[in-house]
Amino acid sequence: MVLEKHQEFENVFVVQHPLLQHKLTLLRDKRTATKSFKELLNEITMLLVYEATKDLPIHLKSVETPIETFDAPQLKGKKQVILPILRAGIGMVDGFLKLMPSARVGHIGYYRDETTLQPHFYFFKVPEKATERHFFICDPMLATGGSALAAIDKVKSIGVKKITFVCLVAAPEGVKRVTEAHPDVPIFCASIDRGLNEKGYIVPGLGDAGDRLFGTK
């Protein structure tokens, strides 16, 4: 099975595609260089997006092929919004856009207090008519769940009804917090790891995704 609904958590889906799992193993390796890390993150995101968009609404549109005219399926409604949580979420945007090139891109910024592990808000920008759009919030890591919860709360506060959260690696603690607070928001990920260490990092995880993505550590 490529897509597996998690047995413990409602509305959580783990994508088990062999190519994705192979690439995730390479991404976890501490020897993987920044350039390769970016490429792998992009490729894994595309595979996640393929599954996360499986229920997008469609309608029929009349199309003239070189042979005849017929009614063909087309995405319905306003363009979707990709909303990366800064800064590591930026690394997932290209993966989304390769499959959804017409999607709009917003930004939401939080930084984590390394002592309290709490997220601190600093930036939010989304397209017009946001309430009519499907938002895909993305962040490579779902650790304590603080930033994910804050981002979902913020998006819901402006009236958005349809939200999907996409990440690469999650911790059970973070998944539990998000699903309990927002049971209507599906989560798509490549792995739910063992848990969190004393610093709030996912184990075994893949380290700090932002530092590895941007070469800042």
Q: Which residues are catalytic?
A: 112, 116, 208, 211
186 Cβ partners below 8 Å, 6+ apart? 11, 12, 13, 52, 164, 165
Please tell me the distance from the alpha carbon of residue 50 to that of residue 126, in angstroms, as a whole number: 23
Q: Are strands 169-170 and 191-192 parallel, antiparallel or unpaired?
A: parallel
DSSP state of 80: P
- Cα dihedral 160, 83, 24, 5, rounded to 10, equals 0
Q: How far is CA 216 from CA 12, 132, 183, 211, 213, in A?
A: 32, 37, 35, 5, 8
> Minimal CA–CA distance to 147: which of 97, 113, 172?
113
Please tell me the distance from the alpha carbon of residue 157 to that of residue 186, in angstroms, as a whole number: 18
